[in-house]
Amino acid sequence: MNAIDKYDARAQAVNSLVCVGLDSDLEKLPDRYRRDPSPQLAFNRDIIDATAEFAAAFKFNMAFYEAEGADGWRQLAGSIDYLRQRHPDILTICDAKRADISNTSAAYARAIFGDLGFDAVTLNPYLGRDALQPFLDHKHNACIILCRTSNPGSADIQSLAVGDRRLWQLVAKKVAAEWNTNGNCMMVVSAANPAEMAQIRAIAVDMTLLAPGIGAQGGEVEAVVRAGLNSAGRGLIINSSRSIIFAADPAAAAAELRDAINACRS
């Protein structure tokens, strides 16, 4: 059972495609946490307790822990330990968008899959396959490769025309046809453009797609679900970060997203 199977099993068990994004920016935490000696860890514990029953995955955004230095790293490790102990069947994603030459990528893989113990990591394709191979070689972990991102300027490079295709289409094709030999690849596909997600689904028929951009980034649930589900009615991880974790009632926000997604799946 690799990390993708783990996600599928959890998604089925709790009937949810929701990923809760722990973008636990210290500056945005409610005041009551900021007085805690481990504010990010205390906040994450509460969010995990409140939302786990609605979540098939949790995604940790590395930047917000690195911004707090060694102490942030310690709180990240504590948060992932807490999640793993209480909910070992929930997929854990390290949103790090890494890629480097081989011995360096091997060190990142050691940090993320080994030391921190994540199930999955987000990766950047610009350096090519061999830069990702040290991650891909971890057959039981999942490699979630950036294909089409949700930021306004994503077209600068991703939409350049390569022959009669866009670069993001070429990346989708390479990942699906060439880089996924261990069956442990997924792709990041923005929820902001369902028409493009449908094209990527046509290229990567069975793969699982991680869709950020719901909520704070403006994606609409129904269009994303219709465009992104595979023929088995799954293969989609829908992430929401700030719209859940900074909601007045995070549990209600997570339940609402789960229900909105499921309403489009039936």
| Residues binding a copy of itself (CB under 8 A) | 23, 25, 61, 63-64, 66-71, 73-74, 77, 95, 97-105, 107-108, 110-111, 114-116, 124-131, 133, 146, 149-158, 160-163, 167, 170-171, 174, 217
Encoded tokens for 92: 């854990």
Closest to a copy of itself by CB, 2 or 154: 154
Smallest gap from Cβ 45 to a copy of itself, in A, equals 18
Q: In which residue are the tokens 């009615």 written?
A: 233
Q: Which of 151, 209, 149 is nearest to 175 (CA)?
A: 209
**CB 243 to a copy of itself: min, Å:** 13
| Known catalytic residue at 174 | no
Other C-beta atoms closer than 10 Å to the C-beta of 216 total 15
Closest CA to 216 of 170, 150, 164: 150
> Phi, psi at residue 218, to the nearest 5°?
95, 0
Q: What is the dihedral of CA 149, 151, 155, 157, to 10 degrees?
A: -70
Question: Which of 169, 199 has the CB closer to a copy of itself?
Answer: 169
Give whichever of 131 and 236 is closer to a copy of itself, judged by the CB atom. 131
Question: H or E stretch including 59?
Answer: strand 57-61
C-beta of 37 vs 152, nearer to a copy of itself:
152
Smallest gap from residue 190 Cβ to a copy of itself (A): 10
- Report the alpha-carbon distance of residue 257 to residue 262 in Å, rounded: 9
Minimum CB separation from a copy of itself for residue 25, in Å? 6
Over its C-alpha atoms, the chain yields an Rg (Å, rounded) of 17
The DSSP secondary structure of 120-148, one letter per residue, reads EEEE-GGG-HHHHHHHHT-TTSEEEEEEE
Q: Which residue out of 97, 139, 173, 174 is catalytically annotated?
A: 97
* Least CB distance to a copy of itself at residue 180 (A): 14
Q: Select 104 or 182, whichever has its Cβ closest to a copy of itself.
A: 104
Q: Catalytic positions, please?
A: 97
